[in-house]
């Protein structure tokens, strides 16, 4: 009888603790709710844009300091030409939608990192872009490069960096709630429960959001490159080439990127919208 009573009391305390943390999470979500440009998706954005931009700028300069920058003037000119056209299209979109106040958070910078083994590029919040030389043979043309830079700039325009940081904060909050609820349990039970939470929240929440961000960046990137005067239809042959050099991949549910077949199919569906903006 006493054991049953203890279970009832523990269940009641657990419910109150989780309700309290749930209320905090709900308040944070409502306060930090924002809308992604172009797609209209609701996203979590808890951190001030100025703080995210400052952190990104510092991180970007550190990466450049630790990397070997390309000295090939043709590569540099190509990346900066494409980048500036994509950035101009991004800035123009903000002006057209009466979001001029957000322009102060974007200080566009484009650099080329000499690393032929890295088939990649990135754009940090605030518009700090780097293209690795390893991806240039895959882009092949200026338009192919526009696919890459459009995709990366889309991450910044869609505020994905802030969202990922905010999701991390919420994940930590959930972990704290679980740890408090299990405070009186044996150490082994707590350890197993926290491990299960970590795997569950990563596979169930963080990775799907990563795939959402990638798909969203594909969508927005098509529109940005089209508005910059690049043919968005070139995205399909580019991603086909990327798939050929991608090597082995984990199952989609354990990957931060959509499966190649799904990515191509989604891009094909989104091309008609992007082509509305395309003026050669």
**Cα(6)–Cα(3) distance, integer angstroms:** 5
Q: Is 115 helix (H, G, I), strand (E, B) or coil?
A: coil
The set of catalytic residues is 152
Q: Specify the DSSP element, H or E, that contains 123.
A: strand 121-124
Q: Specify the DSSP element, H or E, that contains 124.
A: strand 121-124
Cβ atoms of 155 and 242 closer than 8 Å: no
Q: In 3D, which of 218, 166, 23, 118 has the Cα closest to residue 226?
A: 218
**CB environment 186-225: b (16+ within 10 A), e (fewer):** eeeebeeeeeebeeebeeeeebebbbbbbbbbbbbbbbbb
Question: Cα separations (Å) of 261 from 33, 71, 239, 266, 268?
Answer: 32, 36, 10, 9, 11
Cβ atoms of 186 and 251 closer than 8 Å: no
Q: What are the residues whose beta carbons fall under 8 Å from the beta carbon of 147, sequence distance 6 or more?
A: 139, 221, 225, 230, 234, 235, 238, 239
């Amino acid at each position: 009888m006493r054991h049953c009573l203890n279970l009832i009391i523990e269940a009641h305390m657990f419910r109150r603790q989780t309700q309290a943390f749930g209320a905090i999470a709900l308040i944070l979500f409502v306060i930090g709710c924002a809308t992604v440009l172009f797609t209209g998706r609701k996203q979590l954005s808890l951190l001030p844009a100025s703080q995210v931009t400052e952190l990104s700028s510092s991180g970007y300069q550190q990466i450049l300091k630790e990397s070997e920058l390309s000295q090939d003037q043709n590569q540099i000119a190509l990346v900066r030409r494409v980048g500036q056209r994509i950035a101009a299209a991004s800035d123009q979109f903000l002006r057209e939608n009466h979001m001029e106040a957000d322009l102060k958070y974007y200080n566009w910078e484009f650099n080329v990192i000499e690393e032929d083994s890295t088939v990649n590029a990135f754009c940090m919040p605030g518009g700090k872009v780097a293209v690795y030389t390893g991806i240039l043979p895959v882009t092949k043309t200026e338009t192919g490069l526009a696919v890459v830079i459009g995709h990366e700039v889309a991450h910044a325009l869609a505020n994905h960096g802030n969202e990922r940081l905010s999701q991390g904060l919420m994940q930590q909050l959930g972990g704290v709630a679980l740890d408090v609820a299990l405070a009186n349990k044996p150490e082994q039970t707590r350890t197993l429960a926290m491990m299960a939470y970590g795997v569950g929240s990563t596979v169930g929440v963080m990775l799907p959001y990563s795939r959402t961000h990638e798909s969203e960046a594909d969508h927005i990137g098509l529109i940005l490159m089209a508005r910059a005067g690049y043919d968005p239809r070139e995205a399909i042959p580019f991603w086909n080439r990327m798939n050929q050099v991608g090597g082995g991949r984990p199952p989609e549910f354990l990957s931060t990127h959509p499966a190649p077949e799904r990515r191509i199919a989604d891009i094909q569906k989104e091309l008609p919208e992007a082509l509305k903006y395309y003026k050669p």
